[in-house]
Amino acid sequence: MCGIVGYVGSQSALDVVLAGLKRLEYRGYDSAGVAVLADGGLASARKAGKLANLEKELVERPLPAGATGIGHTRWATHGGPTDVNAHPHLDNAGRVAVVHNGIIENFAELRAELAERGHVLESETDTEVVAHLLAEEFSGCAGLAEAMRLVCRRLEGAFTLVAVHADEPDVVVGARRNSPLVVGVGEDEAFLASDVAAFIAHTRSAIELGQDQVVELRRDGVGDGVTVTDFDGRPAEVRSYHVDWDASAAEKGGYDYFMLKEIAEQPKAVADTLLGRIGVDGALTLDELRIPAAVLKEVDKVVIVACGTAFHAGLIAKYAIEHWTRIPCEVELASEFRYRDPILGGRSLVIAISQSGETMDTLMALRHARDQGATVLAICNTNGSTIPRESDAVLYTHAGPEVAVASTKAFLTQLVACYLVALYLGQVRGTKWGDEIRAVIRDLADISGEVERVLETMEPVRTLARSLSDKRTVLFLGRHVGYPVALEGALKLKELAYMHAEGFAAGELKHGPIALIEDDVPVVVIVPSPKGRSVLHDKIVSNIQEIRARGARTIVIAEEGDEAVVPYADHLVRIPATPTLLQPLVAAVPLQVFACELATARGNEVDQPRNLAKSVTVE
């Protein structure tokens, strides 16, 4: 996710855009930039780091005053957070500036074509190709809006684009496909933004843009100031609406907490993490891994190091890696890893999973692994952070910034990334046939919609959570990949509701934990698919009977159509049927909602729980 602002009107474009970017900084904060049209030309500034760095730059090197401008706060996907990769990107003549949110999947071929035509591209980003394409098209057509339409028809992937051209000083043009863009309509001024938070200080009149649409804002009196068409130039139907959120709520997309917003963003985060990694033939394309196939073919052990929720993702990844590649896989708490004197060598692949990319325990673990000669692959959500920088390779999750301390969308995208790595290892080593890999990828591609379906049925879970807010403990049981899900559900409840919660492998009950069962103790049970190994399913149904016979209140997470659990479920939460290994992607969601709602019922501060930090940069 990135923050985008465009403005045309009578105020200082720089002031309006910078204030808007401040409101959007939660969407991305690894670099920022602005462009302003003034004196017949285009002036821009951009800096790596937080917005404050750009503001400092603008004090030292002011831009000319202008009433038309665009701006961007970046959450890097392609290319690290550097000055040269910061948006806006310009064409070689410096007459076009463009900012972008999303992923342009075919940027490599477009980049090659532009280079053949003599364009010099300076950055590592996918976005820069758009500036050069707009410059080419503008020179041959009736204005920037038409140029944008022509360019958009050549782009593949998800994108929000906002651009200006020095030859049209009173015009800002935007376009969107599978990425947010909203119009603000003021008195003699108009705004474009990733979300309304950027402009509701100026106007609450907004226009929602539809898929594959181009919007032109003009202040020279031509048209009504806002013109919307489809990519072929046909006038488009749009919906105007009044924004009744306050600015703070707007940053959270109208949700009370960032965590709720991030739970809701999970379908898109899962889809975005797959974007650009599945070829047209359905095969896996992970060239970005940059680990030679020869190295991957020699790997004789995989070790996953991570903390907290990322560690739980690693526990789930173990099942997939071992099942699909037959390579032994260990999963280690990063804080314990190097103190047990692990056995590593040149054929070890260490995978460091981290949302923030700054967790010191995980960083120290990967440093130890590299000292031992292992190859280190980072799975990370924060482009350019320390852990990927110190790894041999990185696979970025595309969850966008995760603001809430309790990890949700990062967790689901870590799982997706781990599945992709496991499939890629199987593909390179020949332990998975192409058609088998394509089948799993098709299942992964369905998950985004299935998570959406789960989110639509969460009201009973919220009601249940509120009814349990006075409980002292909740237990979680699971088998196979459901066991790490049980651990994750317990962690969510601990860190949000400040209550005792514990996850167990259901098979361990009889070895001790069943002593904890007493009258009305809530026990959440994640039930494996009945279509999977029936022995797993039958055994956990027996476990549910055992705990119910001892007074437990059973909260059963089970697939649609699984009738065997019905007689033993005091509360039944249905999830879509998925392949066994992928079930955590849907089973974790009710547990996130449950924990968030119970914490809210307890009056806790959900986004910043007590004693916790979003990134633990100390050991």
Known catalytic residues are: 2, 614
Strand partners, 396: 380
- Please state, in angstroms and rounded to a whole number, the distance separating the CA atoms of residues 23 and 349: 41
Residue number closest to ligand AGP, CB atom? 308
Residues 583-602 that bind ligand AGP (CB under 6 A): none
Binding of residue 405 to ligand AGP (CB under 6 A): yes
Q: How far is the CB of 281 from ligand AGP (least distance, A)?
A: 33
Q: Is 607 in the site for ligand AGP (CB under 6 A)?
A: no
DSSP 385: -
How many binding residues for ligand AGP (CB under 6 A)?
Answer: 15
Please identify which residue in 391, 407, 427, 592 interacts with ligand AGP, judged by CB under 6 A: 407
307 binds ligand AGP (CB under 6 A): yes
Q: Is 395 in the site for ligand AGP (CB under 6 A)?
A: no
Angle 328-352-502 (CA atoms, 0-180°, nearest 5)?
A: 80
Q: How far apart are CA 194 and CA 12, in angstroms?
A: 20
Contact range with ligand AGP by CB under 6 A, out of 140-148, 225-233, 306-314, 416-424: 306-314
For residues 447 and 204, what is the distance between their CA atoms, to the nearest angstrom?
Answer: 35
Angle between helices 308-325 and 482-497 (to 10 degrees): 170
Sheet arrangement for strand 68-74: 41-48, 31-38, 68-74, 3-8, 189-193, 182-186, 205-208, 239-242
Q: Which residues inside 187-246 make contact with ligand AGP, applying CB under 6 A?
A: none
The interface with ligand AGP within residues 9-68 (CB under 6 A) comprises none
Q: Minimum CB separation from ligand AGP for residue 396, in Å?
A: 13
What single DSSP character describes residue 65?
P
Distance CA 88, CA 228 (A): 23
CB of 130 or CB of 406, closer to ligand AGP: 406
Residue 359 found at the interface with ligand AGP (CB under 6 A): yes
Helices (H), 220-333: 247-251, 258-264, 266-274, 293-298, 308-325
Q: Which stretch binds ligand AGP (CB under 6 A): 24-32, 223-231, 349-357, 452-460?
A: 349-357
Q: Which is nearer to ligand AGP, 179 or 407 (CB)?
A: 407
CB closer to ligand AGP out of 397 and 543 = 397
From 84, 360, 439, 616, residue interacting with ligand AGP (rule: CB under 6 A): 616
**CA–CA separation, 13 and 191 (whole Å):** 10
Asked if 354 interacts with ligand AGP (CB under 6 A), we say: yes
* Cβ burial, residue 611 (10 Å; 0-12/13-18/19+): exposed
Rounded to whole angstroms, how far apart are CA atoms 293 and 150?
39
**Burial bucket for residue 157 (CB in 10 Å: 0-12, 13-18, 19+):** middle
Q: Decide whether 35 or 588 has the Cβ nearer to ligand AGP.
A: 588
- Tell me how far, at minimum, the Cβ of 522 lies from ligand AGP, in Å: 21
Q: What is the C-alpha separation between 30 and 502, in angstroms, rounded?
A: 36
The reply to whether 413 sits near ligand AGP by the rule CB under 6 A is: no
The nearer residue to ligand AGP, 193 or 310, going by C-beta atoms, is 310
Binders of ligand AGP among residues 474 to 503 (CB under 6 A) are: 495
Establish if 308 lies at the interface with ligand AGP (CB under 6 A). yes
CB of 352 to ligand AGP, least distance (A): 9
By CB under 6 A, residue 309 contacts ligand AGP: yes
Residues that bind ligand AGP (CB under 6 A): 307-310, 354-356, 359, 362, 405-407, 495, 615-616
